[in-house]
Amino acid sequence: MSFSELAVTATHAVDLAWAAGGPAERERHWLRIHGDAALAAWLAGLQPTHLHFGSEFCEHLLPAERVLREALRRVEEAGLRFVLLTPVASPDVLARLHGLLPMLPAGTEVVANDWGVAHELHTRFPALLPVAGRVLCRMTKDPRLHPGWAGRCGHGLAAPTMRALFERLGILRLELDMPVFADDGALEGLPLPAGVHLPCVYVAKGRMCRAGGLSMKGPERFAVGRRCRKECLRLAAEASRPGRDDACRTTQLGNTLFSRHSDAMAQALRRAADAGRIARLVVAGEPL
């Protein structure tokens, strides 16, 4: 493999001791997390380099300052580099980020999934490095599609207008999902170095949260702006369509629908990695 970076994601301050272990320990770790022996064996050969911490999808999972401080400490102890994940931002998220971003060392990458956050990073926090996250790097990833729809599943990241926007906002890296119908040309022609997520793609995210309704009653049970008890950290739901032959397994986690890579996607990902088209693998650090 010609890429050199392996990032692990986390929404809370996780134990990172395994990351310093040898391949056997890492293989056990990945097998426990993702239950896929082939994936675990592949990832075991890679030393983690980054921790992507926070949430790309939920404003309630943006860490508090105390939690961020603890995560920064653990990352330093583990010898990893820290990357802050940020979600689509309400005005409240933006205000909280104004407390969090000054805590980050210069040169820290911040994954923006909101154009306003990217703009704030560029104009008010120039020492930080903005990365365009999966919400901004749009492509059709509907897990129900059959190959006849492949022509509609591209991305627009190479368009000159997007390149100009990335440049204007000082965005230096991208984060992507694997295309649903990835072939050997997948991920070619991207305008910036890309990190690619595995083993799931994000399909759709809401601001409404089904699991979040569990502890609510009344008119605002599924409304935005309500309280949250973070049920998604404990619970998930497998989503299936009776009578349909979908190639990918779909899971709802909080406000977001994820789809596990099909075998074809997983193989295409490895080929793209081997061909040097992926700058960083970004692996889910917690089981869905």
Partner 1 sequence: MLAAAGATELYCGLVPPDWRGRFQSISANRRPSGNLASYADLAEAVRSAHAHAAALSLVLNAQHYAAAQIEAAEEIAGRFADLGGDALIVSDLGLVERLATRFPALRVHVSSVATCRNAAAARLCQARGARRLILPRDVTLAEATAIAEEVPDIEIEAFVLNDGCIFEEGACHTIHLPGQLGGPICLDRYRFRHRRRDGGELSARLAARLQENDEAYERWLWYRFSCGFSTTPEGLPFGPCGLCALPALRRGRVAAVKIAGREAPTARKLASVRMVRSVLDRVCAGADAAAVRAFATRLRPSEAHCATGHMCYYPEVLRAEAC
Residues in 207-236 that interact with partner 1 by CB under 8 A: 207-208, 210-211, 213-214, 218-225, 233-236
The reply to whether 249 sits near partner 1 by the rule CB under 8 A is: no
Site string for partner 1, 156-175 (x = CB under 8 A): x-xxxxxxxx----------
CB of 1 to partner 1, least distance (A): 27
For 280, phi and psi rounded to 5 degrees? -150, 135
R_g of the chain computed on alpha carbons? 18
Q: Nearer to partner 1 by C-beta: 73 or 241? A: 241
Q: Which of residues 178-207 bind partner 1 (CB under 8 A)?
A: 202-207
Q: Which is nearer to partner 1, 39 or 72 (CB)?
A: 39
Would you give the binding string for partner 1 spanning residues 78-117, x where CB under 8 A is met? Answer: ----------xxxx-xx-------------------xxxx
Helix (H, G, I), strand (E, B) or coil at 85: strand
DSSP string, 182-234: --TTTTTT-SS-EEEEESEEEEEE-SS-TGGGGG--STTTT-TT-----GGGT
Size of the site for partner 1 (CB under 8 A): 72
Residue 22 or residue 160: which is nearer to partner 1 going by CB? 160
Smaller CB distance to partner 1: residue 3 or 30?
30
Is residue 283 within 8 A of residue 51, CB to CB? The reply is: no
Question: Least Å distance between CB 159 and partner 1?
Answer: 4
- How far, CA to CA in Å, does 108 sit from each of 47, 48, 67, 72, 150? 20, 17, 17, 11, 36
Report the Cα 194 to chain-centroid distance in Å. Answer: 12
Minimum CB separation from partner 1 for residue 55, in Å?
Answer: 13
Distances (CA, A) of 60 to 117, 123, 226, 233, 284: 16, 25, 10, 11, 19
Name residues contacting partner 1, limited to 26-65 (CB under 8 A): none
Which of helix, strand or coil describes residue 175? strand
Question: Judged by CB under 8 A, which stretch of 63-71, 101-109, 145-153, 273-281 contacts partner 1?
Answer: 145-153
In the numeric block, which tokens belong to residue 19?
């990351």
CB of 47 to partner 1, least distance (A): 26
Q: Please say which residue, 81 or 191, places its beta carbon nearer to partner 1.
A: 191
Of the candidates 28, 60, 69, 119, which one interacts with partner 1 according to CB under 8 A? 119
Of the listed pieces 12-20, 64-72, 241-249, 273-281, which binds partner 1 according to CB under 8 A? 241-249
Measured between alpha carbons, how far is 278 from 270 in angstroms, rounded to an integer? 9
What's the CA gap between 136 and 165, in Å, rounded? 12
